[in-house]
């Protein structure tokens, strides 16, 4: 049964990650119940689970934020972090993985969906984070451990090590497992402890073969074990466990387990594996290269919690951390142990614990804090934004409040960006997808009382000219006293695409005094800022060739007006056209989805440039293409739908191209 975690000298942390729908939250609930941390097991159907207890999570039936639970199991301190599975919320899951001692990757028994964990496994291996795989939902009739195992191995850079094999009844349904290290068999009982039974005779051959494969994999990292196997010496069970613990800690292997969270099968087994094989926080701190002395805390999540103010969820790498202690430039204003949304005030936190700290005004997600200040930390950078909305407060009086709320939300989730577009005047909210931004809008309403209007962001269309023209324009105004007079002759011609604006003069004899020539250029540029079609004009060259002035009535303003008037009068002869921005896009997907991506590109008026293997991602391709920016506003939605949710892309401006037909009509209708 759980006891007071304050008496725990050191505490370990495990993060549960996996694709949306894999059953992480149910597994999270099972582990807490099995450890005695909660009195009864909640269910998503009843809406009483520790995880997924935010209003948005209940409404959407999905994890929308990480959930933390701290407890003790057999007198050892633990923290579990249930991470959101949506790819749009991957930044939060990555933060939890970085501070965890071990990560449990939860997946379904579906070989064709194995690719959905490939990005998670790549992140873990790139950072050498110890992790294991838990194949959930093995109570399904079609579930196959073997097929799922081989599919998962294809997307893992590390060798997978099957730690158990299934037992089946006469109908083929999985009824238990055989442990390949202890060689003991366990029969599952739904919602009850498993029964230890004799190893079925019909499984002895399969068990021996699977155990041999496990030992051979371990022997690849241990010469002593390899020698034993070559000499047909059966290694002691303790030696096998030692190899498993050592290789897991070094991220050399990925142990694989299975079960059914819905029926609580394989849960105590998983809990014991975590207890016996997960690295200690001191080992994790050493792996991360953290300094070896003094209090050390790392913030991995920031939360603004209504009247509670700012809470910094943090891992205590080295304790004790006492309430009132100084971290960086802040003083800790409260230490809280968390069980979902319930918190318990604590006087201090010990090494390894995960707690919520109050009033760390200066601290940001990823900060590594000591009493002396901040230390440099290797923290995952937020991914580039792939989806955007233009938003505004429905009440103008709420604009300042909206800006403040967006600043807090962006602090909570660095993958959300809110920025003002100076050209269009819009507030642009961007992030990882429509669901993520909908969650932001829901929070603006529920937490900040802000009603927000949304629209697609305006696109940076441009105009240019297609023909040269020569124009003579005169600005003359007389209204008593000094008047206004300026006379200019301009040559106007198109420039090559991307050349920009150029201004020159060929004035001789002082027909236009030198001090007025910059005013002519300013007037020309003022007109080009908004051309006849309503968008800025580019790639235009203008030369001032002649003109005249009045010694009294000429001025800078008069010549500015003359320059703008000349451009306006010349436009019908110059053949103005609309230009649309084109992006160079790199679309990354598993190779099996590459043909789908190519069809997506061509269906969005894109031009395929080719594809190649994605560097550092075995089994993935990167498709290069040119796509009009107007066609990319919901590109990520279609891309993910075509790639089991794992596709991604990056984009940058390539060039401008002529925009005609229906696309031009739609653009001009927005002006």
Asked if 543 and 570 count as a contact pair (C-beta separation under 8 A), the reply is no
DSSP state, 260? Answer: B
Q: Any idea what DSSP says for residue 200?
A: P
Q: Which of 509, 568, 577, 566 is nearest to 539 (CA)?
A: 577
Domains and their CATH numbers in the chain: 5-285 (3.40.50.300), 295-375 (2.40.30.10), 387-455 (3.30.70.870), 463-575 (3.30.230.10), 578-669 (3.30.70.240)
β partners of residue 301: 313
* pLDDT (tens digit per residue) in 40-51: 998 877 778 888
How far is residue 323's CA from residue 325's CA, in Å, rounded to a whole number?
Answer: 6
Answer whether 0.85 is exceeded by the pTM: yes
Task: Give the pLDDT confidence score for residue 2 in this predicted structure.
Answer: 38
CA angle 57, 123, 154 (to 5 degrees): 100
434-448 and 399-412 helices, crossing angle to 10°: 120
Residue 608 has pLDDT above 90, yes or no: yes
Q: How far apart are CA 118 and CA 17, in angstroms?
A: 12
Enter the tokens of residue 420.
């003002």
DSSP 315-379: EEEE--EETT-EETTEE---EEEEETTEEEEESEE-BT-EEEEE--SS--TT-EEETTEEE----
- What pLDDT shows up at residue 480? 67
* 6-15, 200-209, 324-333: segment of lowest average pLDDT: 6-15
CA 518 to chain centre: 48
Instruction: Write out pLDDT tens, residues 580-598.
Output: 999 999 999 999 999 999 9
Cα angle 648-652-657, degrees, rounded to a multiple of 5: 120
Query: Which residue did the predictor score with more confidence, 652 or 667?
Result: 652
Non-local CB neighbours of 295 within 8 Å, separated by 6+ positions: 316, 318, 319, 320, 321, 325, 327, 370, 371
The pLDDT confidence band at residue 187, using thresholds 50, 70 and 90, is: very high
Model pLDDT for residues 617-645, shown as the tens digit of each residue: 989 999 999 999 999 999 999 999 999 99
Query: 474 and 562 in contact (C-beta within 8 Å)?
Result: yes
**pLDDT, position 7:** 42
For the chain, percent of residues with pLDDT exceeding 70? 98
Q: Kindly list the distances between the CA atom of residue 372 and the CA atoms of 293, 329, 355, 421, 651, in Å, as whole numbers in the listed order.
A: 12, 8, 20, 39, 41
Most confident of the ranges 7-11, 60-64, 382-386: 382-386
pLDDT at 5 over 80: no
Structure tokens given for 534: 């309503």
CA-CA-CA-CA torsion for 315, 320, 323, 324, nearest 10 degrees?
A: -110
Give the pLDDT confidence score for residue 9 in this predicted structure.
60
Crossing angle between the packed helical segments 118-126 and 90-99, to the nearest 10 degrees: 40
Per residue in 503-543, pLDDT tens? 999 999 999 999 999 999 999 999 999 999 999 999 999 99
Peptide bond into 412 cis (omega under 30): no
Q: Say how far apart CA 324 and CA 315 lie, in whole Å.
A: 17
Phi, psi of 218 (to 5 degrees): -65, -35
Residue 31 CA to residue 440 CA, distance in Å, equals 30
Kindly give the residue spans of alpha helices, DSSP state H, lying in 74-197. 90-99, 118-126, 145-154
What is the per-residue pLDDT for 541? Answer: 98
pLDDT at 143: 87
3-state secondary structure 438-477: HHHHHHHHHHHCCCEEEECCCCCCEEECCCCEEEEEEEEE
- Tens of pLDDT, residues 50-102: 887 777 777 787 888 999 999 999 999 999 999 999 999 999 999 999 999 99
Given a contact cutoff of 8 angstroms between Cβ atoms, the answer to whether 184 and 272 are in contact is no
Distance CA 83, CA 106 (A): 11
Share of the chain above pLDDT 90, in %: 88
Residue 309's pLDDT band (cuts 50, 70, 90): confident
In 3D space, the residue among 176, 174, 148 whose CA is nearest the CA of residue 162 turns out to be 148
Cα radius of gyration (the chain): 32
Q: Hey, which residues does 161 pair with through a beta bridge?
A: 255
Token pair for 361 = 């005004």
């Amino acid at each position: 049964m759980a006891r007071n975690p304050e008496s725990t000298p050191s505490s370990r942390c495990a993060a549960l990650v996996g694709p949306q729908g894999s059953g992480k939250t149910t597994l999270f609930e099972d582990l807490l119940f099995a450890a005695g941390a909660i009195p009864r097991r909640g269910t998503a159907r009843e809406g009483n689970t520790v995880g997924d207890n935010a209003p948005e999570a209940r409404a959407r039936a999905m994890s929308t934020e990480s959930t933390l639970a701290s407890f003790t199991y057999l007198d050892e301190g633990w923290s579990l972090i249930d991470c959101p599975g949506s790819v749009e919320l991957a930044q939060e899951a990555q933060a939890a993985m970085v501070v965890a001692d071990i990560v449990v990757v939860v997946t379904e028994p579906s070989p064709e969906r194995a690719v959905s964990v490939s990005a998670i496994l790549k992140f873990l291996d790139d950072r050498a984070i110890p992790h294991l795989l838990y194949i959930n939902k093995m109570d399904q009739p079609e579930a196959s451990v073997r097929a799922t195992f081989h599919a998962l191995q294809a997307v893992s850079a590390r060798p997978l090590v099957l730690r158990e094999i299934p037992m089946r009844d006469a109908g083929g349904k999985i009824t238990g497992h055989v442990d390949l290290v202890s060689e003991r068999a366990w029969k599952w009982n739904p919602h009850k402890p498993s029964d230890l039974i004799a190893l079925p005779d019909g499984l002895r051959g399969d068990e021996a073969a699977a155990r041999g494969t496990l030992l051979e994999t371990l022997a690849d990292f241990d010469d002593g074990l390899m020698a034993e196997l070559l000499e047909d010496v059966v290694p002691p069970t303790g030696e096998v466990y030692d190899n498993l613990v050592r290789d897991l800690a070094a991220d050399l292997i990925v142990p694989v387990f299975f079960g059914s969270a819905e029926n609580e099968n394989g849960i105590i087994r998983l809990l014991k594996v975590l207890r016996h094989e997960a690295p200690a926080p001191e080992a994790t701190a050493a792996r991360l290269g953290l300094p070896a002395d003094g209090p050390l805390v790392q913030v991995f999540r920031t939360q603004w919690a209504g009247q509670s103010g700012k809470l910094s969820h943090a891992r205590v790498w080295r304790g004790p951390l006492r309430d009132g202690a100084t971290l960086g430039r802040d003083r800790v204003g409260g230490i809280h142990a968390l069980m979902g949304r319930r918190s318990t005030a604590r006087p201090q936190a010990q090494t390894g614990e995960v707690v919520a700290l109050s009033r760390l005004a200066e601290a940001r997600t990823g900060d590594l804090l000591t009493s002396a200040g901040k230390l440099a930390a290797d923290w995952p950078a937020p991914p580039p934004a792939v989806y955007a909305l233009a938003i505004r407060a429905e009440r103008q009086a709420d604009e300042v409040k909206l800006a403040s709320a967006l600043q807090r939300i962006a602090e909570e989730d660095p993958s959300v960006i809110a920025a003002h577009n100076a050209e269009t005047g819009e507030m642009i909210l961007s992030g990882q997808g429509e669901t993520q931004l909908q969650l932001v809008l829901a929070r603006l309403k529920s937490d900040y009382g802000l009603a927000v209007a949304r629209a697609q962001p305006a696109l940076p269309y441009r105009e240019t000219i297609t023909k040269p023209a020569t124009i003579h324009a005169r600005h003359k105004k007389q209204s008593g006293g000094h008047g206004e007079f300026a006379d200019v002759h301009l040559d106007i011609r198109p420039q090559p695409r991307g050349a920009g604006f150029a201004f020159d003069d060929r004035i001789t004899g002082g027909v236009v005094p030198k001090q007025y020539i910059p005013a002519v250029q300013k007037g020309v540029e003022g007109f080009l800022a908004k051309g006849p079609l309503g968008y800025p004009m580019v790639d235009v060259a203008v030369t001032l060739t002649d003109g005249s002035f009045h010694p009294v009535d000429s001025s800078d303003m008069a010549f500015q007006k003359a320059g703008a008037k000349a451009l306006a009068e010349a436009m019908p002869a110059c053949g103005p056209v609309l230009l649309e921005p084109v992006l160079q896009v790199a679309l990354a997907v598993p190779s099996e989805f590459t043909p789908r991506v190519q069809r997506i590109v061509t269906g969005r008026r894109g031009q395929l440039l080719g594809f190649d293997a994605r560097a550092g991602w075995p089994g993935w391709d990167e498709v290069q293409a040119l796509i009009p920016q107007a066609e990319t506003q919901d590109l990520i939605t279609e891309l993910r739908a075509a790639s089991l949710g794992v596709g991604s892309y990056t984009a940058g401006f390539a060039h401008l191209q002529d925009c005609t037909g229906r696309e031009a009509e739609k653009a001009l209708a927005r002006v």
